[in-house]
């Protein structure tokens, strides 16, 4: 088979597999609750204290498939807390009745027992009062939006109407629950490149139109569209990083906002003769075969989005994508890890 045709088929298959994996993910939020189901159909629902009273959050996690267990974790708000404060003993209260102390998961996370989890879910999806006591201030879990989010959780996993449903239980067999989907496998490739270099003025002039042609919207990389608007000449640099004997990575600053900035990355041949392939226009960094993204949702940094793309010898495949949940002033760096895309990355041989 012609090598260029073979490479094109590999690229098409790679992109199709990545797109299919991302299609399986679901995100839904309502009032003080949200659910994110990743491409394997593992779902994670986060509930928070009322927005005007940041005191904590819970995370309900369940893998897809019949009879899979539920875990419920709890964290307390600590944006304003004293880091030297001693570890807290936390107790669950439902409708002003103690349900016992929670087990310590790690230094700042607690886990509910199966009985506690059932009591909490039954209460919060209805009109019950759920409270966690023992911290600097009580954590009153909001029930606003809980039922809608838990119903979506069950719907994605095919559990509505089964005895194991979180929301609407019934007598449908547990075996009707949707099976888990295997995470896509990505075989990482070694990077055998050299030093980065800045493209010459002549190279920039030749490649810029081809880079722009890969953008569906000029706003994705406005500094490439209008370099004259930059206040810093270095912002207009286009950098080449060798990947192997045939491929190189092109990068340049695409946009800058109040507290985020995004770099564009393209794969191209080392001779800069072919058609560049856009990977992303919002990345934060590249290191050793991995392009990474980390963008905060607001200036104080209590909510983030992240993603990674891994070099497989032909292209960079998106290997992960997640957020840390709602911007609720719970934790610096974000409250939870809510993946939308996960994969099984095999180390380069």
Record the pTM: 0.90
Query: Is a pLDDT exceeding 70 seen at residue 86?
Result: no
Could you tell me if 153 and 37 are in contact, meaning their C-beta atoms sit under 8 angstroms apart?
Answer: yes
Name, of 14-18, 23-27, 256-260, the range with top average pLDDT. Answer: 256-260
H or E, element range at 187: strand 185-187
CB atoms within 10 A of CB 171: 7
Task: Give the separation between CA 92 and CA 116, rounded to whole angstroms.
Answer: 8
Query: Is a pLDDT exceeding 70 seen at residue 8?
Result: no
H or E, element range at 114: helix 114-124
Phi, psi of 22 (to 5 degrees): -70, -30
Residues 6+ apart with CB under 8 A from 340: 22, 25, 27, 36, 38, 39, 321, 322, 323
CB atoms within 10 A of CB 200: 10
Phi, psi of 36 (to 5 degrees): -130, 125
Phi, psi of 177 (to 5 degrees): -60, 145
For residue 136, the number of C-alpha atoms closer than 13 Å in the C-beta half-sphere is 15
pLDDT (tens digit, 9 = 90+) per residue, 267-294? 999 999 999 999 999 999 999 999 999 9
Give me the residue spans of the domains in the chain: 23-176, 185-346
Task: Give the separation between CA 103 and CA 112, rounded to whole angstroms.
Answer: 7
* Cα 35 from chain centre: 12
Which residue, 52, 100, 53, is CA-closest to 76?
A: 53
* pLDDT on residue 325: 98
- Mean pLDDT over 131-141 rounds to 96
Strand partners, 109: 106
Pick the CATH number of 23-176 from 3.30.413.10, 2.60.40.1880, 3.90.1150.140, 1.10.260.40: 2.60.40.1880
pLDDT (tens digit, 9 = 90+) per residue, 144-174? 999 999 999 999 999 999 999 999 999 999 9
């Amino acid at each position: 088979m012609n090598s260029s045709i073979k490479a094109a088929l590999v690229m098409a298959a790679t992109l199709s597999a990545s797109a299919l994996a991302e299609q399986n993910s679901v995100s839904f939020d309502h009032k003080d609750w949200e659910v994110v189901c990743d491409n394997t159909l593992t779902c994670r629902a986060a509930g928070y204290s009322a927005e005007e009273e940041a005191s904590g959050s819970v995370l309900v996690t369940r893998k897809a498939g019949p009879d899979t267990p539920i875990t419920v974790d709890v964290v307390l708000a600590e944006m304003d807390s004293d880091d030297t404060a001693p570890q807290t003993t936390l107790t669950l209260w439902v409708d002003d009745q103690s349900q016992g102390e929670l087990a310590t998961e790690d230094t700042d996370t607690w886990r509910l027992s199966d009985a506690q989890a059932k009591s909490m879910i039954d209460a919060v999806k209805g009109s019950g009062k759920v409270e966690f006591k023992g911290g600097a201030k009580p954590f009153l879990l909001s029930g606003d939006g809980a039922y809608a989010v838990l119903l979506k959780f069950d719907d994605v996993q095919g559990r509505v109407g089964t005895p194991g449903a979180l929301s609407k239980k019934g007598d449908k067999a547990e075996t009707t629950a949707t099976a888990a989907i295997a995470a896509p496998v990505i075989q990482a490739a070694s990077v055998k490149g050299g030093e980065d270099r800045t493209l010459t003025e002549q190279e920039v002039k030749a490649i810029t139109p081809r880079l722009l042609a890969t953008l569906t919207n000029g706003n994705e990389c406005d500094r490439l569209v209008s370099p004259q608007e930059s206040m810093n000449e270095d912002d207009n640099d286009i950098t080449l990083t060798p990947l192997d004997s045939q491929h190189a990575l092109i990068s340049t600053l695409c946009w800058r906002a109040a507290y985020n900035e995004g770099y564009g990355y393209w794969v191209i041949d080392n001779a800069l003769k072919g058609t560049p392939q856009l990977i992303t226009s919002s990345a934060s960094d590249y290191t050793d075969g991995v392009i990474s993204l980390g963008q905060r949702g607001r200036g104080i940094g209590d909510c983030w989005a992240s993603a990674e793309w891994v070099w497989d010898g032909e292209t960079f495949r998106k290997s992960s994508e997640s957020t840390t949940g709602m911007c609720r002033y719970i934790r610096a760096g974000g409250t939870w890890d809510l993946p939308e895309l996960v994969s099984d990355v095999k180390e380069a041989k």
